[in-house]
């Protein structure tokens, strides 16, 4: 019996170029924090359009540090959408702060600005704006409101890399931008993340927090190793082991070089899917996909027959998933506010289809054919 081909939901686009780059790190036998990380940080910040970038081992670390660097008083509140990945809210709890869940829009699953204003009170110190699925939040409106309230804005860009909103790249609108290079995300280093910012005055502390709280950059310290007492450093903060390393950065550099083409391919794939599925009676896109200069990570639809279509497609060898069950429904977050009525309703209709740059047109057409078949019969 031949095993039926399964179409995956996500798949990283990696190959010989990444291998070659990793090999060059092997050759120099310096796998840890070093020059490759510096190079990746520089190229990443200039790509996004911020002054600084700090290479980290995850986006979760980036979110944690983006809050930690502000030294907020214990139990202050941070606004966060209810439909997001757990790390967006966990970063708040890591800092002994309280999440305040904000409802999402009907049309695009992003922060609802009316509800944001309703949920705000004087104890709120920050806001985490998640570009869910890669669809941009209304950053112009969010920033002008947040500036008036004097709260820190963190963009969780884990679902996008290179997307533009009103001629500025996502991640460069807020005070901090956090990116993920986890296996399934837009570009990948296996695991990895990047924190971008224009706040030069916080850079030193951020770097220190990302490497054990040292007062010295470990790579600079190494370069001075012929000088006297080059071993010396001081621990000034309770830091973390969050740094990126040369191996990850060597992959990241190649992925960043490929990113524009990967994003172009993502747009072509989206167009094919959206036009193929535009006449379905039971299913509709969960985002008003804007395909100019965008970077979407999710191909998500809405239907009243969610569970039924998911098992139908599974039988045809097509992977699907649900992005994402609202956080207030999880045991850890039950004790926080649950007044996010639309989120609690909309997530039951969401399902995602296979979407990655290397998917073949024949695979896309097979998915479209299968979805249409379901739509006709139901």
Interacting residues with ligand PLP (CB under 6 A): 58-60, 84-85, 87-88, 130, 156, 158-159, 180, 182, 193
CB of 62 to ligand PLP, least distance (A): 8
CB of 193 to ligand PLP, least distance (A): 5
Q: Find where tokens 């279509």 sit.
A: 309
CB of 158 to ligand PLP, least distance (A): 3
> Which CB, 251 or 368, lies closer to ligand PLP?
251
CA 147-152-154 angle, 5° bins? 115
Question: Which run of H or E residues covers position 71?
Answer: none
CB of 130 to ligand PLP, least distance (A): 5
CB of 55 to ligand PLP, least distance (A): 12
CB of 156 to ligand PLP, least distance (A): 5
> Which CB, 84 or 245, lies closer to ligand PLP?
84
> Which CB, 58 or 70, lies closer to ligand PLP?
58
> Which CB, 58 or 202, lies closer to ligand PLP?
58
> Which CB, 130 or 269, lies closer to ligand PLP?
130
**Contact present, 158 and 179 (Cβ < 8 Å):** yes
- Rg of the Cα atoms in the chain: 22
Q: 162-173 as b/e, with b when 16 or more CB fall inside 10 Å? A: bbbbeeebbbbb
Q: Please state, in angstroms and as integers, the Cα–Cα distance from residue 77 to each residue in 73, 74, 93, 123, following that order.
A: 9, 9, 10, 6
| Burial bucket for residue 231 (CB in 10 Å: 0-12, 13-18, 19+) | exposed
Query: Which tokens hold the place of 152?
Result: 């820190």
Query: Which tokens hold the place of 127?
Result: 């806001």
- How far is Cα 86 from Cα 326, in angstroms, rounded to an integer? 9
> Which CB, 25 or 187, lies closer to ligand PLP?
187
Residues in a beta bridge with 284? 302
CB of 145 to ligand PLP, least distance (A): 21
Sort strands 152-156 and 124-130 into parallel, antiparallel or unpaired: parallel
> Which CB, 187 or 371, lies closer to ligand PLP?
187
């Amino acid at each position: 019996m031949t095993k039926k081909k399964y179409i995956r939901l996500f798949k990283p686009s990696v190959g010989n170029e990444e291998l070659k780059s990793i090999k060059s790190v092997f050759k120099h036998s310096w796998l840890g924090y070093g020059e490759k990380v510096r190079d990746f940080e520089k190229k990443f910040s200039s790509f996004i359009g911020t002054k600084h970038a700090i290479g980290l081992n995850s986006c979760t670390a980036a979110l944690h540090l983006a809050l930690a660097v502000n030294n907020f008083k214990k139990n202050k509140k941070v606004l966060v959408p209810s439909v997001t990945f757990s790390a967006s809210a966990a970063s708040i709890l890591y800092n002994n702060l309280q999440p305040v869940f904000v409802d999402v829009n009907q049309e695009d699953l992003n922060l609802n600005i009316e509800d944001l204003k309703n949920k705000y009170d004087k104890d709120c110190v920050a806001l985490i704006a998640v570009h869910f699925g890669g669809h941009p939040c209304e950053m112009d409106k969010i920033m002008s409101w947040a500036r008036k309230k004097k709260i820190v804005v963190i963009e969780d860009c884990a679902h996008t890399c290179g997307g533009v909103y009103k001629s500025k790249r996502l991640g460069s609108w807020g005070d901090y931008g956090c990116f993920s290079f986890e296996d399934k995300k837009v570009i990948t280093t296996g695991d990895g993340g990047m924190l971008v910012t224009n706040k030069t005055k916080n850079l030193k502390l951020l770097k220190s927090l990302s490497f054990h709280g040292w007062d010295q950059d470990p790579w600079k310290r190494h370069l001075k190793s012929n000088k006297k007492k080059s071993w010396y450093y001081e621990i000034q903060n309770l830091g973390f082991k969050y740094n990126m390393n040369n191996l990850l950065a060597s992959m990241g550099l190649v992925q960043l070089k490929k990113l524009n083409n990967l994003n172009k391919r993502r747009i072509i794939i989206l167009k094919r899917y959206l036009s193929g599925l535009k006449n379905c009676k039971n299913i509709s896109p969960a985002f008003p996909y804007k395909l100019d200069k965008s970077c979407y990570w999710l191909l998500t639809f809405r239907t009243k027959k969610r569970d039924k279509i998911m098992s139908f497609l599974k039988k045809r060898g097509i992977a699907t998933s649900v992005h994402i069950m609202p956080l207030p429904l999880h045991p850890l977050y039950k004790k926080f506010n649950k007044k996010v009525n639309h989120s609690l309703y909309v997530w039951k209709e969401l399902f995602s289809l296979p979407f990655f740059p290397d998917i073949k047109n024949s695979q896309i057409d097979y998915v479209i054919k299968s979805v249409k078949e379901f739509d006709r019969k139901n």
